[in-house]
Amino acid sequence: MLQGVLMLWSIYVSRKEPLVIDCIGLLIILII
């Protein structure tokens, strides 16, 4: 689970899309 999230997060960070990163951040908070 965590490895998959980190991989997806790193991919979105490489794309440098703030909106997408915020969405992922919210999802991570909900999961945790």
20 touches 12 (CB < 8 A): yes
Q: In tens digits, what is the pLDDT along the chain, a chain of 32 residues?
A: 678 888 877 777 767 666 676 777 778 888 86
3 touches 11 (CB < 8 A): no
| Beta carbons within 8 Å of 31's beta carbon, 6+ residues apart | 1, 5
pLDDT of residue 7: 81
